[in-house]
Chains A and B, each alone.
Chain A
Amino acid sequence: MRLLVVEDEPDLAATLRKSLVEEGFAVDVVSDGQEALWQAESVAYDVVVLDLMLPRLSGVEVLQRLRVAGSRVPVLVLTARDGSADKISALNTGADDYLTKPFTFAELLARIRALIRRAAGVPSPVVRLGPISIETSARRVTRDGIDIELSPKEFALLEFLALHRGKLVTRSMLYEHIYDDEDATMSNVVDVYVASLRRKLGRDVIRTRRGAGYIIDA
């Protein structure tokens, strides 16, 4: 899952990035509204975490322009202001959720995951594929109740496919959603991970559509 964190406070942005990366997210950080807009328009993020007080373009303006441009990306707004006016205007402009600073990271994480589930139309945090069960919150995968060890990227790839169950997912989509701008990898890395996931989960969980991509059957 790929996130865009828009935060002009450099320390907070750095902390959020390293915390979210540890939770298996691919995270891009930008520090002003204009950059946020460019970035959000060029990458299909799963969630945008948007501070409201930003240089150049305010968070609400970013939100407004994103929605006018037709973007459906879930947006979680961070605000350091009291009072409900900011929250109301953010929600009315198209934000999906908000958090008031200071917040705990656990809450931010839970809200990001909830937004991802909601966007995928999967209300349960646990996705079952036959004998395989994927707990998206605990980032745990079991087969017949037995834990299966997955690397963070393997998990991210499986989670993305599982949340888009029944839909064809291209290699470039997978690549876009599990790597951020700071990751430097080869493009065939997706095939390598799929091969490794098949070894651990069984051959038939992820099916290949030749020349198009991968799919987990509904």
Chain B
Amino acid sequence: MRSSLRSRLLVWYSAVLLVVLSTFAALAVWSIWQSSVEDLDARLRPLATQLGNAVQVDETGRYEVNLAEASLAEFGNTVDAPYYAIWTADGTLIDRSDPFVDGTSPTTTGARVREGRREVIVRVSDGTMVLVGRSLAGAEQNVWSAATALALGGGAALVVAFLGGWLLLGRALAPIAQIAATAEAMSESNLGLRIDVSTTDELGRVATALNRAFDRLQEAFERQTRFTADASHELRTPLASQIAELEWALSRPRSDKEYEESLRVGMKAAERMRAVVEGLLTLARADADAAPLRREAIDLSALVEDTVATSRAAADARGVSLDVEGHGVVVDGDPDRLRELISNLVGNAVQYGGSGDRVVCTTSATPASVVLEVRDTGPGIDASDLPHVFERFYRANKARSRSAGGAGLGLSICKWIVESHGGRITCDSAVGQGTCFTVELPAANSATRPAV
């Protein structure tokens, strides 16, 4: 493809150059011819005038040309020498330099080209007509040598331009070959390749744009790979624990207490795998947009009261106080999803909290939106982890969330639920002071509700 573009460009470029050079040469030749002829005229005309003035009539009524020998010497017998003819006003030939000169009297004055000769005709004051001519061979010779020089020079210029163009095009198009080679070499295992952008010209911009596209592709691909690896990790770890525990229990007879302990460990692992699988399924449906969203007016405050009640036992067990604030805030949404959202947020706050910590869920409304706030006085999230908390399988504190039984998908699911309702979720936290998740949903009768 590259060589074809290169040769096509070169052919066009050479053709244009050929036309330009030919036109230039033609104009040059024509103008050389013109000036040669003018030159000739300028030499012939004074001769003609001189001759006309030299015609005299003697007493016998005979005409004679009374011209100095030196002047007459200009007219010779050679083919290339000038010649002349003189007529009286009534057309009678008076004299001619050579018997071969046509004796017919011309009717008009001026200059003309006849049979390869240039002839200038003048009429002097007494009506005598004088013709002076000369062969055009000299002018033709000039023109031919100029034409030959132009053709040789132009041809050489064309060859140089062709070769130079070939090299220049090769260099100009080299980035395309490099772009193609890079794109060709990119594969699943080699996504880090980038085009070497060394210029800021059009191709440089193309390369930069392609590199950016490659960046985004690589990022998306790596995110997917990381997600798959994380999902696999989250399932393999409890499975490893379960298999090892059951192998131990089955390797020899154990006491009832040991069997019970083994079953408990096995159950815990199974529970974790269930949580991961359910989370993965939810997110898979979310990604496929396969989960239809119900829309109905819901008393969000009541839903919060309701959902929080199911977390109360866990909160009491950990010594965490759990409060609900706000009444009668109505939102337009899917009750099951919103319940899952509240349950995840409250569950997290309770799980990370310790004795004496406080979790407060507040619902409030503004004309445009409904706000749900889940604020805790727990350990908080490190600033470096904060931007990642909504990422799938991201764990701010791996060990803690593990023991809390989280699958690492809860906040990703929360984000999806909120966004599918056309709202947004943000997280604010300071280590040692606590965390606040704020969910903002469009108000129930908001006309600007986005379609989902």
Instruction: Decide if A101 touches B229 in the complex (CB within 8 Å).
Output: no
B218-238 vs A, CB cutoff 8 Å, 1 = contact: the mask equals: 000000010011001100111
User: Given that A8-B398, A10-B403, A80-B237 are known contacts, is A102 also in contact with B245, CB under 8 Å in the complex?
Assistant: no
User: Given that A11-B269, A80-B236, A81-B232 are known contacts, is A102 also in contact with B402, CB under 8 Å in the complex?
Assistant: no
* Residue of A16, A18, A80 with most partner-chain B CB within 10 A: A80
Q: Contacts of B265 on A, CB cut-off 8 Å?
A: 11, 14-15
Total A-B residue pairs with C-beta atoms closer than 8 Å? 76
CA distance A80 to B408 in the complex (A): 16
Instruction: Decide if A100 touches B236 in the complex (CB within 8 Å).
Output: yes
Instruction: Decide if A15 touches B241 in the complex (CB within 8 Å).
Output: yes
CA distance A105 to B251 in the complex (A): 10
- Shortest distance from the beta carbon of B254 to any chain A beta carbon, whole Å: 11
Q: Contacts of A105 on B, CB cut-off 8 Å?
A: 243-244, 247-248, 251
User: Given that A9-B402, A15-B245, A55-B398 are known contacts, is A102 also in contact with B232, CB under 8 Å in the complex?
Assistant: no
CA distance A31 to B244 in the complex (A): 17
Q: Contacts of B403 on A, CB cut-off 8 Å?
A: 10
In the assembled complex, B240 has its CB within 8 A of some CB on chain A? yes
For A82, give its contact among B232, B238, B244 (CB under 8 Å): B232
In the assembled complex, A50 has its CB within 8 A of some CB on chain B? no
In the assembled complex, B268 has its CB within 8 A of some CB on chain A? yes
Instruction: Decide if B232 touches A55 in the complex (CB within 8 Å).
Output: no
Instruction: Decide if B233 touches A11 in the complex (CB within 8 Å).
Output: no
For B248, give its contact among A18, A53, A78 (CB under 8 Å): A18
Q: Contacts of B398 on A, CB cut-off 8 Å?
A: 8, 53, 55
CA distance A102 to B237 in the complex (A): 7
Instruction: Decide if A31 touches B233 in the complex (CB within 8 Å).
Output: no
Q: Contacts of A81 on B, CB cut-off 8 Å?
A: 229, 232-233, 236
CA distance A175 to B237 in the complex (A): 34
CA distance A100 to B237 in the complex (A): 10
User: Given that A31-B399, A55-B398, A82-B228 are known contacts, is A9 also in contact with B247, CB under 8 Å in the complex?
Assistant: no
Q: Which residues of chain A (1-24) have a CB below 8 Å from chain B?
A: 8-12, 14-16, 18-19, 22
CA distance A78 to B245 in the complex (A): 16
Instruction: Decide if A53 touches B247 in the complex (CB within 8 Å).
Output: no
- Shortest distance from the beta carbon of B394 to any chain A beta carbon, whole Å: 13
Q: Contacts of B268 on A, CB cut-off 8 Å?
A: 11
Instruction: Decide if A53 touches B233 in the complex (CB within 8 Å).
Output: yes
In the assembled complex, B239 has its CB within 8 A of some CB on chain A? yes
Q: Contacts of A19 on B, CB cut-off 8 Å?
A: 244, 247-248, 251
CA distance A53 to B395 in the complex (A): 12
Q: Contacts of A102 on B, CB cut-off 8 Å?
A: 236, 239-240, 242-244
- Shortest distance from the beta carbon of A165 to any chain B beta carbon, whole Å: 31
In the assembled complex, A103 has its CB within 8 A of some CB on chain B? yes
B378-413 vs A, CB cutoff 8 Å, 1 = contact: the mask equals: 000000000000000000011100110000000000
Task: Closest B residue to A54 by CB, please name it.
Answer: B398
The interface size of chain B toward A, counting residues with CB under 8 Å, comes to 26
CA distance A104 to B402 in the complex (A): 22
Instruction: Decide if A8 touches B402 in the complex (CB within 8 Å).
Output: yes
* Residue of B225, B236, B244 with most partner-chain A CB within 10 A: B244
Task: Closest B residue to A13 by CB, please name it.
Answer: B241
Task: Closest A residue to B225 by CB, please name it.
Answer: A83
- Shortest distance from the beta carbon of A27 to any chain B beta carbon, whole Å: 13
Instruction: Decide if A8 touches B248 in the complex (CB within 8 Å).
Output: no
Instruction: Decide if A101 touches B399 in the complex (CB within 8 Å).
Output: no
- Shortest distance from the beta carbon of B190 to any chain A beta carbon, whole Å: 13
Q: Which residues of chain B (400-433) have a CB below 8 Å from chain A?
A: 402-403
Instruction: Decide if B237 touches A82 in the complex (CB within 8 Å).
Output: no
* Residue of A12, A14, A16, A55 with most partner-chain B CB within 10 A: A12
Instruction: Decide if A11 touches B236 in the complex (CB within 8 Å).
Output: no
Task: Closest A residue to B252 by CB, please name it.
Answer: A22
Instruction: Decide if B244 touches A15 in the complex (CB within 8 Å).
Output: yes
- Shortest distance from the beta carbon of A201 to any chain B beta carbon, whole Å: 27
User: Given that A8-B402, A31-B399 are known contacts, is A104 also in contact with B236, CB under 8 Å in the complex?
Assistant: no
Instruction: Decide if A16 touches B233 in the complex (CB within 8 Å).
Output: no
Q: Contacts of A31 on B, CB cut-off 8 Å?
A: 399
Task: Closest A residue to B265 by CB, please name it.
Answer: A11
CA distance A81 to B233 in the complex (A): 5
Instruction: Decide if B236 touches A101 in the complex (CB within 8 Å).
Output: yes
Q: Contacts of A53 on B, CB cut-off 8 Å?
A: 233, 398
User: Given that A8-B399, A8-B402 are known contacts, is A103 also in contact with B229, CB under 8 Å in the complex?
Assistant: no
CA distance A12 to B397 in the complex (A): 19
Q: Contacts of B240 on A, CB cut-off 8 Å?
A: 9, 12, 78, 80, 101-103
- Shortest distance from the beta carbon of A116 to any chain B beta carbon, whole Å: 20
Q: Contacts of B243 on A, CB cut-off 8 Å?
A: 102-105
For B241, give its contact among A12, A18, A100 (CB under 8 Å): A12
CA distance A101 to B398 in the complex (A): 18
CA distance A106 to B244 in the complex (A): 9
Task: Closest A residue to B232 by CB, please name it.
Answer: A82
CA distance A78 to B241 in the complex (A): 12
Query: What are 18 A-B pairs at a CB distance below 8 A?
Result: A8-B399, A11-B268, A15-B244, A15-B245, A19-B247, A19-B248, A22-B248, A22-B251, A80-B240, A81-B229, A82-B228, A82-B229, A101-B236, A101-B240, A102-B236, A103-B243, A104-B243, A105-B244
> A: which residues have CB within 8 A of B?
8-12, 14-16, 18-19, 22, 31-32, 53, 55, 78, 80-83, 100-106
> B: which residues have CB within 8 A of A?
225, 228-229, 232-233, 236-245, 247-248, 251, 265, 268-269, 397-399, 402-403
Extra 4 A-B pairs, beta carbons < 8 Å, given A10-B403, A12-B241? A15-B241, A78-B240, A83-B225, A105-B247
> Shortest 7 CB-CB distances between A and B: which pairs?
A101-B240, A12-B241, A102-B240, A80-B236, A80-B233, A102-B239, A101-B236
